Homo-oligomer: A and B are copies of this chain.
Amino acid sequence: MARKGLNPRQQQILEFIQNFDEERSYPPTIRDIQQACNISSTSVVDYNLHILERGGYIRRDREVSRGIEVLGDSRDVRAGMTGTRVPVLGYIAAGEPVPVPGQDYWGAAEPLDVLDLPEGFLGKINKDTYALRVKGTSMIDALVDDGDVVIVQPVDSVQDGDMVVAWLQIEKEATLKRLYREGDRIRLQPANSTMEPIYVSADNLEVHGKVVGVLRSTV
């Protein structure tokens, strides 16, 4: 973690600011730094902070107490975070549709887990994006296995062939399938040669979202 162009004192200050911020969730004062680094005067701290600021290591807000921000540590999750936290809201059946507790099942319950996905890696991720853990192997030919997590983006319109979270209103059941429009009915097609498609009327179907990503743990 050593950086060129900084003398030991400046590195020490930089590290202290990072640790302090991590532990207490707010930056240190100049006098905090002074004491921690055994510096005799606040002016020395100020002097070295100027150097760190010119070097682009930190950003300072003048005349503001604790107005220090450490920049650009790429291993520090707090720095430059552009990702979005995506909750894993529950399970989705990739085989037979299964009933779920309530219609806003995925709105109320606590997430099973939470993922942090980088912006831009999977199209646009926003606050509506969520994830579901897949039960069953009906989408195996689409490379989605039992236990995988699918990232779901609520969308207004879907195209034929999209993998969607399909909600059957009458049956109050949800399932993960590919969607194809066929006249006034809709075919929900599994991606498994041993399974048959389901046909539903457009009225009965509500598309909760479209799968924009898949995440699998192989351990």
Contact = CB atoms under 8 A, between A and B. Distances in A.
A216 B218 contact: no
Contacts of A214: 214-216, 218
Interface stretch (A5-13, A40-48, A74-82, A179-187): A74-82
Interface stretch (A97-105, A117-125, A193-201): A117-125
Contacts of A87: 74
Contacts of A127: 75
A216 B29 contact: no
Each complex incorporates copies of this chain amounting to: 2
Interface string A47-90: 00000000000000100011111000011111001011101000
Contacts of A78: 25, 77-78, 81
Contacts of A143: 140, 143-145, 216
A219 interface: yes
A77 B85 contact: yes
Interface string A1-43: 0000000000000000000000011110100000000000000
Contact of A65 (B66, B69, B140, B213): B66
A145 B68 CA distance: 45
A84 B77 CA distance: 7
The CB with the most chain B CB atoms within 10 A, among A29, A144, A215, is that of: A215
A171 interface: no
A147 to B, nearest CB: 11
A92 interface: no
Interface of A: 24-27, 29, 61, 65-69, 74-78, 81, 83-85, 87, 111, 113-118, 120-123, 127, 140, 143-145, 163, 211-219
